[in-house]
Amino acid sequence: MSMHAQPAVDDRQVVGRIAAGDREALAELYQRYQRTLFSYLQQLTPDYGLAEELLQDTLVAVWKSAHRFEGRSSVQTWLIGIARRQAHNTLRQRKLPLIDEAELDGLASTDPEPEDFTLAYVAREELVGAFQQLAPVHREILVLTFLHELSYQETASILDVPVGTVKSRLSNARRMLRALLDAREEMKR
Amino acid sequence: MKSQVPESQHHVSGLLPEYVNRKLDPLITDQVNEHLLHCEACQAELSAWEAIGEATQFATASEPLPSLNILDQVWAKIEVPAQARQISRWPIRHALIHLWLVLNRQVRIIHKSIWIASTLVGLFCCCLALFFSTQSSNRVHDATSLLTLFTAVVAASGVAFMYGSDKDPGFEITLSTPTSIRIVMLCRMALVIGYNFVLPAIASVIIALAHGGGLWEVIQLWLGPMLLLSSISISLTLMAGAAFALAISLIIEALQAIPITLEKGLLVLQLARPDMWQSSPYVIVLAVLLFGFAVFYAPRQPRLSN
**pLDDT averaged per 10 residues, chain B (length 306):** 47 86 88 88 88 89 85 86 68 81 82 84 76 66 75 84 69 68 85 87 81 77 86 87 85 72 58 58 87 82 46
Contacts of B3 in chain A (CB under 8 A): 152
CA distances, B306 to each of A62, B99, B165, B180, B210 (Å):
46, 28, 10, 19, 53
Select the residue of B23, B51, B59 nearest A132 (Cβ to Cβ).
B59
Does A63 score more than 90 pLDDT?
A: yes
Predicted local distance difference test score (pLDDT) of residue B2: 42
Q: Which residues pair with B267 in a beta bridge?
A: B262
The pLDDT assigned to B13 comes to 80
**Contacts made by residues B5-8, CB under 8 angstroms, sequence distance 24+:** B5/B31, B6/B31, B6/B32, B6/B35, B8/B34, B8/B35
Alpha-carbon distance B134 to B131, whole Å?
6
Chain A contact set for B47 (CB, 8 A): 119-120
One-letter amino acid of B24: L
Q: Is the pLDDT of residue A5 over 60?
A: no
DSSP-assigned states of every residue in A104-146: ---PPPSS--TTHHHHTTS-HHHHHHHHHHS-HHHHHHHIIII
B11 and A142 in contact by Cβ < 8 A?
no
Confidence of residue A9 (pLDDT cuts 50, 70, 90): low
Residue B169 carries which side chain, given as an amino acid letter? P
Report the pLDDT value the prediction gives residue B23, as an integer from 0 to 100: 84
| pLDDT, greater one: B151 or A55 | A55
With a CB-CB cutoff of 8 Å, which residues 76-105 of chain A face chain B? none
B40 Cβ contact partners less than 8 Å away, ≥ 6 residues apart: none
Alpha carbons A163 and A105: distance in angstroms, whole number: 11
Residue contact A142–B18, C-beta within 8 A: no
For residue A94, the 8-state DSSP code is T
Q: Which residues does B contribute to its contact with A (CB < 8 Å)?
A: 1, 3, 10-11, 13-14, 17-18, 20-23, 41-42, 44-45, 47-60, 63-67, 70-71, 73-75, 77-78
Look at A38-47, A74-83, A121-130, B78-87 and tell me which has the smallest mean pLDDT: B78-87
ipTM above 0.85, yes or no: no
Concatenated DSSP letters for chain B? -PPPPPPTTS--GGGHHHHHTT-S-HHHHHHHHHHHHH-HHHHHHHHHHHHHHHHHHHHHHTSPPPPTTHHHHHHHHHHHHHHHHHHHHSHHHHHHHHHHHHHHHHHHHS-HHHHHHHHHHHHHHHHHHHHHHTS-THHHHHHHHHHHHHHHHHHHHHHHTSSSTTT-TTHHHHHHSSS-HHHHHHHHHHHHHHHHHHHHHHHHHHHHHHH-S-HHHHHHHHHHHHHHHHHHHHHHHHHH-HHHHHHHHHHHHHHHHS-EEEETTEEEE-PPPGGGSS--HHHHHHHHHHHHHHHHHGGGHHHHH-
Please compute the mean of the pLDDT values over residues A72-84 and round it to a whole number.
91
Residue B119, pLDDT score: 86
At residue A102 the predicted structure's pLDDT band, cuts being 50, 70 and 90, is very low
Pair B19, B27: CB distance under 8 Å: no
**Looking at the complex, does the CB of residue A131 fall below 8 Å from at least one CB of chain B?**
yes
Give the torsion through C-alpha atoms of A87, A92, A98, A102, to 10 deg.
120
Distance CA A116, CA A108 (A): 14
Distances (CA, A) of B150 to B82, B225, B243: 51, 11, 18
Question: Is residue A143 very low, low, confident or very high in pLDDT (cuts 50, 70, 90)?
Answer: very high
Q: What is the CA B138 to chain-centroid distance, rounded?
A: 47
pLDDT at B275: 52
d(CA A126, CA B55): 9
Are the CB atoms for B110 and B188 separated by under 8 Å?
Answer: yes
Query: Whole-number mean pLDDT of chain A?
Result: 83
Say if the Cβ atoms of B75 and A23 lie within 8 Å: yes
